[in-house]
Structure formats: C-alpha cells, structure tokens
Chains A and B, each alone.
Chain A
C-alpha cells in the first residue's frame, strides 16, 4: 500500500472551508441527521480530500503495439535466414514463397470454404467447451461434494490424448462436422474446467464475507462477488480453448474429414508440397491472431480496466 500524503494546505482547500459545519449547529446529532437526510439542500461535506491522495495510472502508449509488431517481424526474419541456410524449398521454404502461395490461395473460393469449415468447427467447439468447462469448474470450486465426484473424472479426461477423442468421435458419429465439434469440445472441456476450478478457489474470501455481513442473497454473492473474480480465469480458459480447439480440429480433419484446413494440410503433405503446408498453417495462425487482437484483447482490457496499468512492470 502506498503511503498517504497529507494535503499540504488544508485551509487552502475550497471544499474544506464551507465543509466543516460550525460546531454549534449540530448539537443534537439526531436532529441534524433528519435535517441532513430529508432536506434537499446540498449535503454537507465533513471530510474533504485532496487530489494528492489519488493514484493516477500512466496512460497506455502505442509503444506496446510497436514492440509486438517488431517481435513478429523478427520472427519472420529468423525464418527467412534459416530458409536461406537450407536453400531447399522441399525442406523449408522461405517466407516470401509461403506468403505468395498464400496470396494465390486467397484468390480461390476453395480457400474460403476450407477456412470457413475449420473456423466454424473451432468456434462452436470452443464455445461448448467454455460453457461446459465453466459449469463443471464452478461446481467443483463451490461444492466439496462436486469436487469429490468430478475431480478424478476431469483429471482422467485431461490425460487422454486428443487423437483418441478424434478417433472415437469419427467412429461413433461418422465423417462429419458433428464428430469434429464433439472431439474439440470434449478435449477442451477438462482444461477449461481445471482453470475455472482453480480460479474459484483463488477468490478473495474476505469479499464474500463482506457480502454475507451485508446479508446479500446467495445468488447475489455468486453473481456480484464470485463470478467477477473468476473472469480473468475464464479469459485464460477461453484462450487456451481457442488454441487447443484449433489443434484438435486439424487432427480430426487430417484423420477423417474431407474439408477444412487439416484436410488441406493432409492433401499437400501427400504431394510433399512444403510451401502449401506452411501457407495453410500461416493462414490459420493469422486468423487466430486476428481473433485474439480483434476480440479477446479488447474484451479483456475492458473487463480488467479497473486494474492500475502499471502493475505489470
């Protein structure tokens, strides 16, 4: 906690001058209260505060954006260097080849069809995973009983490799979108649930006691005190779910489906076309980055706007 600075010239504070009621006016506190509460006159200020006590966070600058862009450029530069070293496009094609292939792909309608298919599966699977994981995680975090019943299930489900879910989903539901979505959500649910579960355990109990001391209903405590504290964990889970959903989608598309980015990767891998494999990978990476920077980051910074910005040094 930062030490409080005393205002220097208290008499200089305009509010202080008219603020303190003359000592003789409120001899009877009860009468004064009634007067203060019922009359429409501007309320009296008895405890003036100086601006010196307020902590003003530094403004976020554009420097962060520049740093991010620079770091991406550096990554591409390293790639270009290593590709130059190999000098063989069947081993590692350079960024120029890959991006020009990507550009050509983007002129075809096939590109958007496959991209759309994968994005659809990923987004639906992810949303189901976040919802399912949130419910399971809340139950595990809030109830001893729920934790005892569910924790071993979640841990078992978490250890099973996602390929297994992919194979099972395809065997059970056939070669279709439904199988892919089931595989994605089942794989991501345990990780989301574990995140939320830990998040609920880490909440500030003193705030819950505050709610109880003011006799809030259980519902209000859950909605107004518990869930807002879990939001950072929900965001982390969302991010994790997005990343893993895309990986599983690719695997499922690769082993069974005839559409989507995974299918295209499989196709070009069969033709030993490394440039196309990387072009598709880069394409999807860009889509994920767009989702991150267009949706997740703005939502996150809005939801956590109450945090002073300089906590991260």
Chain B
C-alpha cells in the first residue's frame, strides 16, 4: 500500500542539557493520515506540543524518526519544498496592515505574482465571510473576526498542510462554537489536510476525522482514534458524545497515572 499523505513515523526529540541526561520531550509518535484529513492532536498542557509543531513546520529537527508530507520529508533544510499554513491561538495579525494586506503577506514572501495574489486574497476572505472587510485594520474587528482573517492567511498560501494551534481557545465559547462549525465548512470546501492541536476534548471529537491523544512529557501515542461520524455533524450527536465520554475517561485515567 502506498504511504499516506501525512506520515509521522516514530519521531523522537531530545534536547541536550549541560549537566544532566538529555531531556526527552517526544518519545515515539506514530500516525498516518490521508490527504484531506483533519487530524487533531490532544494532549495535556506541557506535553511537548510546541516542540512537535515546530518539528512539523520545519523549524526544528527530530532526533530520530521522520515526518513525511506529500512525499517530502520535513526537515529544517528541506522546508522550502513544502507550504505549511499556520493559525495561532491569538490571531497574530500585523495591526498596521489592512486585513487584505495581512492575508497577502505570506503570498508576497512566496513570490506569487500580483494578479494571482489578488485573486487568492479575495477568494479566501470571501470564504471566511470577510469579503467586505478587506480594507479594515485588524484592531477594528472582533476577536472572532480577527481569527477568521488569520485562517484566511493560513489558507491563502494553499498549503500542503494547515497547522491549527488551539485557534479557538482564546475566544468566548459562543464565538468559538460558531467558528468551529465554520471551520468544518471551510475545511471541507478547500480539502486541505489539517493538524489541529487542542486541549479541548469535545472540540477534538467534534472536528476531526482522526484523533491522536498523547501522554504527558515525554509525549507518546496514548490513543489513536478514527472518528467515523459523517459530516455535517451536530454538537448534540450521540455518537460524538459517546466518543467524548470514552476519551475523557481515558484522558483522566492517563493524567492520574502520570502524577
């Protein structure tokens, strides 16, 4: 069988320390998903999540193992072959640039020509529902809207992989709930492969096609779960609720075992 679109193959990461043994942050993670999947990674805080994201984004190298996206092995050196869009917990927009210019920023960096960049800025701003707000400055928008701009920015480079790092955790629950629904619609409309990192079990279950629960540091695969519930999903779906209950029980047991 051919290799899946995104492969995380037994990766380990250690940080050397001066006097003690190296600090092992990731100790064997394995997962593989097909193109267009929404893989959520759920872990307790301090589980080496930012290290993992840096490695996937080619900002740091693994100690052993490998990550392959779309046939390219990820490393600090080979990163330029891949396009990876990032959505952060806070929107991280440049407040002195208009919404349009913020979405355009990574496109300019990739050397995409003007006409194509214009087209993409319009397309993705429309997609996130902000077509009429291109000339606004970010500080005039609400937190939820800023996060939509951030999502448009991540998508506009038409990435091989979209990394979402707890994108809704800083929003109030009502806004977050609405954005989760829309995130699914947008994801299904674009067909991007997404890695979605979160601490929120319900969010992970609701959104993803595949879910990876990782242990406290050093991070290992604790649970690897296919969530086989068709879209569009409703938050009240009993099947989702059953999965959530199971994962929650499991998660608590894991946390207690680690103390």
Question: Which residues of A approach B to under 8 Å, CB–CB?
Answer: 1-6, 15, 19-21, 23, 26, 28-34, 36-37, 42-49, 53-57, 206-207, 209-210, 212-217, 220, 224-225, 228, 231, 303-308
Whether a CB of chain A sits under 8 angstroms from the CB of B217 is: no
Encode contact with A along B119-137: 1 for CB under 8 Å, 0 otherwise: 0001110111111010011
In contact, B144 and A228 (Cβ under 8 angstroms): no
Residues in B with CB closer than 8 Å to A34 are 191
Given A49-B129, A213-B86, A306-B96, verify A4-B182 contact (CB < 8 Å). no
In contact, A6 and B190 (Cβ under 8 angstroms): no
Interface of chain A, main secondary structure: loop
Given A32-B188, A49-B148, A213-B86, verify A224-B140 contact (CB < 8 Å). no
Whether a CB of chain A sits under 8 angstroms from the CB of B142 is: yes
Given A30-B36, A54-B145, verify A46-B186 contact (CB < 8 Å). yes
Given A4-B174, A225-B94, verify A45-B188 contact (CB < 8 Å). no
Residues in B with CB closer than 8 Å to A31 are 191
In contact, B90 and A43 (Cβ under 8 angstroms): no
Pairs across A and B, CB under 8 Å, 23 listed: A2-B142, A29-B187, A29-B188, A32-B189, A33-B191, A33-B192, A36-B190, A44-B126, A45-B126, A46-B127, A47-B148, A49-B148, A54-B136, A54-B142, A210-B88, A210-B92, A213-B88, A214-B105, A215-B58, A215-B109, A304-B96, A306-B95, A306-B98
In contact, A46 and B129 (Cβ under 8 angstroms): yes
Residues in B with CB closer than 8 Å to A5 are 142
Give the residue among A19, A215, A305 with the most B Cβ atoms within 10 A.
A215
Complex alpha-carbon distance, A152 and B81, angstroms: 45
In contact, B190 and A43 (Cβ under 8 angstroms): no
Whether a CB of chain A sits under 8 angstroms from the CB of B172 is: yes
Which single member of B97, B98, B144, B171 contacts A53 (CB below 8 Å)? B144
In contact, B140 and A3 (Cβ under 8 angstroms): no
The residue of chain A having its C-beta at the shortest distance from the C-beta of B143 within the complex is: A1
Complex alpha-carbon distance, A52 and B189, angstroms: 26
In contact, A54 and B133 (Cβ under 8 angstroms): yes
Which single member of A43, A54, A307 contacts B122 (CB below 8 Å)? A43
In contact, B141 and A21 (Cβ under 8 angstroms): no
Q: Name the distance in Å between B32's Cβ and chain A's nearest Cβ.
A: 17
Residues in A with CB closer than 8 Å to B143 are 1-2, 4
Residues in A with CB closer than 8 Å to B145 are 4, 49, 53-54
Complex alpha-carbon distance, A44 and B123, angstroms: 8
